Amino acid sequence: MNPAPALSVTLTSYGPAVGADDAPDILDLARMADDAGVDRILLTDHVVMGDRTERYPWGDFPFPPDVPWLEPLSTIAAMAAVTERVRFSTKILIAPLRPAPLLAKTLATLDALSKGRIEVGVSTGWQREEYAAAGVDWALRGRLLTDTMAACRALWTEAPASFASETVNFERIWCSPRPLRRIPIWFAGRLHERNVERICTLGDGWIPEPYAPVDVLASGVPVLRDAWRSAGRDPNDLGIQGDLDVVVGSDGRPDLEASLHAVPEWRKAGATTVNVVMTLFAGPKRASRFFDQLARGWAAI
C-alpha cells in the first residue's frame, strides 16, 4: 500500500481563533505543529478588505471585512524562528499585489532564514478593492500572476538576471540572497489553459478551488499530469493539494478522527498533500488536544 500523503495543517491567521489581541498565540500553535510532526503550515492572505464580500465566488464569505488578517510572509518569518522542522507555505498569496523583485527577495530571505523550509501558493485573489487600493490593474491580474512568478524564477536562478514581459521588466540586476534550493510554487484555481501552462512551466503543484470536492481532483489530475509530461517534467514531482472535509459527530461537533477517514480517498484521487484546517476543529485553547488527536489519527491511516 502506498503511504498516505503528507499532512498539511492550515493554521489560519485570521478570524476569531487568532485575532489582533492574541496574534502571538499563532507562534505557540506553530511550535505545537512542529512537535506533532505536521509537514506544512499554510497561511492565507488579504492585504486589505473591501465591504463587497458578497462577490466571494465560492459561497458565503465567512468573515466580516474588518476581521484582522496577519500578513502571511511576515507571520511565517516569526513562526520559522520558533520552529525547526515544519515547512511553510501560503494558500494563497495574492502575488500580483507585490512587485516581483520585492516578492523574490522576501521569499529568498525567508528560505535562507528558515534553512530551506519555504514554499508559496499563489493566485490572483478575488477582490477588486485590493487591486484598486494597491494601484494595480484588476484587468491585468492573470498576466501579472504569470509575469511576477516567472520574474521570481529568473531572479532566483540568474545573476545578473534580465527579464522582459508585458508587465514586469528588468535588465542585469542582482537579487541576493538566493534560495537555498528551488522554492516550490503552487498555483491555485481552475485548470484552464493558462493555469495549466503556469503550473507546468513555472510551478511545482496545483491547489484546486476552495471547497473543491474530491471528484475535482479525480477528473483534473490526469489532465494536468498529461500536460506535465508533455512539458518534459517528471510526474512524480507534481504536487496536488486536497482539503479535508469536516465530518460532524453525533454530538454535533466536528469529528477529527472521522474526518481523517477520507484521506485515502483523496490520495486515490491524486492528492500528494492533504490540508486539515485547524480552526474548523479547534481554537488555541484546545490546540494541544487537537494536535494529539491529529498525530494519532494520521498514524492510524
CATH number of the domain encompassing residue 213 = 3.20.20.30
In terms of residue numbers, what domain contains 41? 6-299
Domain contains 221: yes
Kindly state the cell numbers that stand for 69.
488578517
> 169 - beta bridge partners?
164
Q: What pLDDT shows up at residue 24?
A: 66
Q: What pLDDT shows up at residue 18?
A: 53
Q: What pLDDT shows up at residue 23?
A: 64
Domain contains 272: yes
Q: What are phi and psi of 34, to 5 degrees?
A: -60, -45
Q: What pLDDT shows up at residue 301?
A: 81
pLDDT, one tens digit for every residue, the chain (301 residues): 345 678 788 876 544 445 555 666 889 999 999 999 999 999 999 999 999 999 998 888 888 888 888 899 999 999 999 999 999 999 999 999 999 999 999 999 999 999 999 999 999 999 999 999 999 999 999 999 999 999 999 999 999 999 999 999 999 999 999 999 999 999 999 999 999 999 999 999 999 998 899 999 999 999 999 999 999 999 899 999 999 999 999 999 999 999 999 999 999 999 999 999 988 898 778 889 999 999 898 888 8
Domain contains 193: yes
Q: What pLDDT shows up at residue 21?
A: 59
HEC states along 124-191?
Answer: CCCCHHHHHHHCCCHHHHHHHHHHHHHHHHHHHHCCCEEEECCCCEEEEECCCCCCCCCCCEEEECCC
Domain contains 154: yes
Give the SS3 label for residue 193. helix
Domain contains 139: yes
Domain contains 74: yes
Domain contains 1: no
Residue in 239, 245, 246 with CA at minimum distance from that of residue 207: 239
> 188 - beta bridge partners?
207
Cβ neighbours, 10 Å, residue 123 = 24
Q: What pLDDT shows up at residue 180?
A: 95
Q: How many domains does the chain have?
A: 1
Alpha-carbon distance of 61 to 160, in angstroms, equals 44
Domain contains 205: yes
